Each structure stands twice: as C-alpha cells, then as structure tokens.
Amino acid sequence: MSATVILFLPVLVVGAVPTPSYISLALFSDFLSFCIFVSQHVTSGAMKFVDVRRSDEFEVGHCKDSVNIVWDGDACWDGGITDKVCKQFIDDMTTFVDGNYQTPIFVHCVSGNRASQVAMFLQVRLRVDARVLLYQENRPV
C-alpha cells in the first residue's frame, strides 16, 4: 500500500515577496507513485518539475518528465549571483520558467536539503511559486 503525505510549511520571506510563501513537501512511499504523480501533473500543465540533484545522481534514476538543473548552493550562497556556476543556474532556471511565473515549480533532490534551498532561492530571485517534492524510499510516511 502506498501513502502520500502533503504538508504545507509556511515560509515567510521578509521583503522578498509581497505575501508569505509556502513550500509544499510531498513524500511518496514508492518511486512509481512518485513518477506517476509527476507525469500527470506536468502533462496537464498543473506544475513544472525540476530535479536539482547532481548529474550522476540523476542518471541513477529519474522520472521521464524530469528536467535536471544541477544546484550548487555553495556557489550561489557563498559566491553570490555573480559566480559563474550560480549565473549558469539562474540562466538555466530562467529558461526553464520561460516567462510562466504562474505555474508552480516543484523541486526535487535526494533529501530535501538542496530542493529547499532552490525553492527559497527561486521564490526570492525569480519570484515564482516553488515547492519541494520528494520521493524517499524506505522511510515511514
């Protein structure tokens, strides 16, 4: 039996966005359910889905509707937005958003750490509705 848990965690970003933002955290108990959810919602246009894991992690396994844009948080937080790696990430993400700031972007990584950083970064930098979406194997939900 598979279970899905969706939590809405309020995250107030002072001065960055006009209203409080929310990061949704959805946990899936099996990979197939996770990929079906992603495929249905991406295909319907209800959301965009970006996987911010390293390329080697992405190649081990990913959903067919995944777009891989690697996040290097150290470059963006420590080096700032002028860092070459961070600038490339912003350029790639801006292309991915493609001017559609209304459709929520669900961000995925292994543990939720990078996805949470990216969701916050996207909310502040691109002012998009960014949320965390996780698949975590062998963890109770």
Instruction: Tell me the pLDDT tens digit for each residue of 69-112.
Output: 998 777 676 656 667 888 888 899 999 988 888 889 999 988 88
Strand ordering across the sheet containing 130-135: 4-11, 21-28, 130-135, 105-108, 48-51, 67-68
Type of residue found at 115: A
Mean pLDDT of 116-141: 78
What is the C-alpha separation between 70 and 77, in angstroms, rounded? 15
pLDDT of residue 141 exceeding 80:
no
pLDDT of residue 43: 92
pLDDT of residue 112: 82
* pLDDT tens string 35-76: 888 899 899 988 999 999 999 999 988 988 889 999 877 767
Confidence of residue 8 (pLDDT cuts 50, 70, 90): very low
Q: Are 92 and 69 in contact (CB under 8 A)?
A: yes
Q: Are 26 and 42 in contact (CB under 8 A)?
A: no
Q: Are 117 and 73 in contact (CB under 8 A)?
A: yes
